[in-house]
Amino acid sequence: MLAFAFETSGRLKVRNAQLTALRLTPGPWLQQLKEHVLNGEFGARIPLAGRSVSVAELADSILMQGTGEKLVYATDFADIPDNRRKLTELARNAHTLFCEASFVNADTTQASGTGHLTTRARGEIGTEAAVKHLVPFHFSRRYRGHAGRSYQEVSRACSHTVVPDPE
C-alpha cells in the first residue's frame, strides 16, 4: 500500500469589518503583513499612516487563520477493513483524493487477488472520508477504451467523483 497526504498551511484572511473599524485602508501593506506572519516575523514593523505598527499587533487585530487544503494520494492496496480505516482517516475531509480504482465491481475476485480496489470500494471510501473531490485513476488495462464504465461505478458510490470530459 502506498498512501500519503499533503496539507497546505492555513490561509490568512483579513477581517474587513475590523479593518474598517480601525480606519485602515487596504493596500500592499496587507501582503507584507501576511508574509511576515507566515515567516514568523512577529517583531517586524509595518509602516501605516505615518507610524509604525508591529506585525504581532496587526495580525491579532485584523487577520484570521483559515484552514489549509489537504491532498491525498493512494494506490496499490487491498480492500481489507484495516486498509479502508487507515485511508478513510488519512483522507478525512480532504479537498482532493487521488485514489486507484483498478477493477470494476464485476471483477472483485481479480481485485482481491492482486491487492487492488474495485470502483465501488473506491467510491465508498471517498464518501466515508467526506472528500470534496475524488479523482480515480490506475484502471486495469483490461478496460482500455472503456474507462467510462469505471467512472460511472465510482460515481454511483461517491457523488464527488471527478469525471473527465469525453474528448
Task: Check whether 129 has a pLDDT greater than 90.
Answer: yes
CA distance 163 to 148: 9
- Domain 69-157, CATH 3.20.20.105 — does that match? no
CA distance 100 to 17: 45
CA distance 95 to 143: 28
Task: Check whether 10 has a pLDDT greater than 80.
Answer: no
Question: Any idea where the domains of the chain sit in the sequence?
Answer: 9-65, 69-157
In the chain, the percentage of residues whose pLDDT exceeds 90 is 85
The Cβ of residue 78 has, within 10 Å, a number of other Cβ atoms equal to 16
CA distance 51 to 58: 13
Mean pLDDT of the chain: 93
List C-alpha distances in Å: 116 to 15, 88, 164: 47, 16, 22
What pLDDT does 165 receive? 80
3-state secondary structure of 17: helix
CA distance 133 to 6: 15
Choice between 1 and 7, residue whose per-residue pLDDT is larger = 7
CA distance 28 to 20: 16
Task: Check whether 167 has a pLDDT greater than 80.
Answer: no
In the chain, the percentage of residues whose pLDDT exceeds 70 is 99
